[in-house]
Structure 1
């Protein structure tokens, strides 16, 4: 017998049950229930995306050489901590300065430049403790704390993308200085144009969970840094041929990929932003399944393509193919059918296999493949949204990609250039040969191996 049946029998069979209930009991309204479930969705999705920080750390630690592993782990912990502080101080306020009032056609006063730049310094304030929180809840669909927590994980993801691409030659403190600017200003401004109801949102641009706003933005920041920083010593020989620099631990790379795959269910699923109705619950389950299908298709596409091109399967390409599939579906994980998710993810996986050697031919050294995975697959995923989403247009998608990508690249390039002029951003050739673990940190991730 179901719980509802047992409860009904209890009411019927217990004399005077209704009259015995206290008169002052307040039962949750539909709005209360929606608020609770929406808040829970943000919190659960947020800690799943937080777990992606571990995925990035493991993936990067495995793809760099053993003499640079401790440095990558340090950067990943530090960048998340910087993001948490900067997003509180100014990032969240910049990203959500206020909603556009369709009735009046006006932007709230929180925008400095309407629809383009919000309040520069607006530290996040949470709901008061106790009864005051209930009063605020009446005006919102989820708690401010849960929304801030969820959105913070996205800005940290953007910074993590940059960390891997510039590994093995960037200095720690200049990298963290760039992270301050990226998480406190560059990312929030670009994201506000869509998610903060800025000018792109009003023009009809569509990016459900951030193929462009998060992933392509991180990829553009990484590309700018890679250009200013230059390739690792010995990456290209005198004739321009690529010299292989194998990573230290493919088991860690695989573990990191699976962690990222898991965290992506929170990344895309919680971007539904609501779990207060049956329809929302059904949509979230659809997002989960499409997200998983795209990842699987991306891995299989890379698996088959590397076998066809090189005669052998390349594990790192397969893992990055799965990640590219995830990035590709992120702009529109709700609307496609399972077949739609499959071919979108498969194309993303193929992009990685073809783009990695293309970047090498251009002399752009990306240690972990972040630029193909996040920038190129992110652009692809955003541009293909109108195939399955009726309200989106190919033209507006291209405008959004160009606007966000151009802004993030230009701002990042300027920041990297200023840092290079003021403090220098690259370690010395001697330190690069020694390894950043010893040169920058004075410790080794694998001391027994180094001394053996």
Structure 2
């Protein structure tokens, strides 16, 4: 036998044990490593929370731009400061106490007196969580916390616009601490934390009541205690227009909110691990978009008919009202259902804004009609398409949450007013909060107006 044949035979004989070892190792890995069927739902649902969460976080930019565009130029910097500050406060307070109040675990804080530890999130998943362990839960705890936090921050953003142009910065931020750390988590726990409203059959898919109407009720309480802006309502009963500084910014803010709402409603499916779940997310996206579009068109047509001219601010708020209206039940309606639900929201805004003015309730950006009134409509209409719900239970849930948020907010506003005042001085209000509160202006090269 030639030498090279002998060497080849020797090499083959040497490799045989290695091949056997490799086969055994592959079998062990196959037994230990989970399949995608096992960890796929965990991965996909975690991604849904993360993507939905950063889309809802982008809504903070939308609120900031909307409010910056709808307030007068002398107050723009203050509104921008409030928006970034409230988001940051919400992030800390929801971690500190809010998440634990909202999701109390096996105990129910209302019925059992269970509050749990002060810190809801003491640790997240360990770094490099083993894939084999990933199938134990339906999604990452960190992603769930991140997603839910964004809803808490949104509630505070709603209050900011209503009280613009006359509230002091620090009392507003202190109220934000109470709202995001306690008021919102407690009322949200009644439904999303497995509380008494959930057991009663109340349904609010993504928060027409729990987020939007709650923010609207907190804003209404603040507006009543704070009072209207100087010169807003003349002695003869006239409503004095106070146009915003930049409708381009307001329009940009509306489109940003529209985009973020896909995360708001779509992420509230809370699952993406099956074909059915992902299909439902797509359905939610389509219905959400349809409701926004029909709300805008309804406001567009109605302002033309009512006033003889289209009012852009009403159209912007019409789109937002359409979004709020579909938020309580974005999954079940047909596209036509989403269309008429959103359109009614747009109509609500056109009539509710002047109604507030007749009541001398000064809402700078129209947040109360958009979030509170349209939130009620969206909550009420859920039983039309969603089985197992009733109009009575929907009204009960809205009334309970509204009463709780309004009364507690009213008490907090009165306490803040008594302790040091919540309103800037008349001189500061006339000259603008930017200089009085911050000493800087958003548009320093232009005359204030």
TM over 0.5: yes
Give the aligned partner of residue 283 of structure 2: 286
Task: Name the residue aligned to 2:72.
Answer: 65
Q: Deviations over 1:399-439 (max 9, x none)?
A: 00000011000110010000000010000000000100000
- Distance in 1 (CA, whole Å) between partners of 2:447 and 2:374 is 37
**Deviation of 1:20 (Å):** 9.7
Distance in structure 2 (CA, Å) of the matches to 1:353 and 1:451: 29
Q: Which residue of 1 aligns with 2:89?
A: 82
How many Å separate the matches in 1 of 2:213 and 2:280?
Answer: 25
What residue in structure 2 maps to residue 12 of structure 1?
none
1:386-425 correspondence runs (5 A): 386-425=383-422
- Written as runs of structure 1 = structure 2, the 5 A alignment for 1:271-420 is 271-420=268-417
SS in 2 for 1:367: coil
Measured in 2, the distance between the counterparts of 1:188 and 1:447 equals: 40
Quick one: distance in 2 between partners of 1:177 and 1:415?
10
Distance 1:133 1:439 in 2: 54
Q: Deviations over 1:324-372 (max 9, x none)?
A: 0000000000000000000000000000000000000000000000000
Equivalent in the alignment of 1:22: 26
In structure 2, distance between residues paired with 1:201 and 1:207:
9
Q: Is the 8 A contact 2:62 2:253 kept in 1?
A: yes
Trace 1:7-406 onto structure 2 (pairs within 5 A): 22-23=26-27, 24-25=29-30, 26-98=33-105, 108-109=106-107, 111-114=108-111, 118-119=115-116, 121-130=118-127, 137-406=134-403
Deviation at 1:134, TM superposition (A): 5.6
For normalisation by structure 1, the TM-score amounts to 0.91
| Alpha-carbon distance between aligned partners in 2 of 1:76 and 1:90, rounded to the nearest angstrom | 21
Contact 1:215 1:378 in 2 (8 A): yes
TM-score by length of 2: 0.92
**Aligned equivalents of 1:396 and 1:145: distance in 2?**
33
Write the distance in 2 (CA, Å) between the matches of 1:91 and 1:190.
11
- 2: CA distance, partners of 1:258 / 1:170: 27
Report the structure number with the largest CA radius of gyration. Answer: 2
Counterpart CA distance in 1 for 2:78 and 2:387 is 46
More moved, 135-144 vs 376-385: 135-144
Unaligned runs of 5+ in 2: 1-19
CA–CA distance in structure 2, aligned partners of residues 345 and 325 of structure 1: 4
Q: CA separation of 1:379/1:451 partners in 2, compared to 1, >3 Å: closer, same or farther?
A: closer
5+ residue gaps, structure 1, are: 1-15, 99-107
Q: Distance in 2 between matches of 1:137 and 1:33?
A: 9
Shift of 1:210: 0.1
Q: Deviations over 1:284-313 (max 9, x none)?
A: 000000000000000000001000100000
Residue of structure 2 equivalent to 1:13: none
Q: Counterparts of 2:79 and 2:36 in 1: how far apart (Å)?
A: 49
Question: Post-superposition shift, 1:173?
Answer: 0.2
Following TM superposition, by how much is the alpha carbon of 1:128 offset from its aligned partner in structure 2, in angstroms?
3.5
**Structure 2 CA distance for aligned equivalents of residues 145 and 283 of structure 1:** 24
Deviation for aligned residue 1:117: 7.0
CA distance 1:355–1:116, change in 2 (3 Å): farther
Q: Is the 8 A contact 1:195 1:201 kept in 2?
A: yes
Cα RMSD (Å): 1.9
Task: Give the structure 2 partner of residue 429 of structure 1.
Answer: 426
Question: For the Cα contact (< 8 Å) 1:216–1:375, is it kept in 2?
Answer: yes
CA displacement 1:228-268 (0-9 Å, x = unmatched): 00000000001121000000000000000000000000000
The offset of 1:27, in angstroms, is: 4.1
SS at match of 1:113: helix
Partner of 1:102: none
Whether contact under 8 Å (1:116, 1:193) holds in the other structure is no
Contact kept, 8 Å, 1:46 with 1:266, in 2: the verdict is yes
Name the count of aligned residue pairs.
Answer: 426
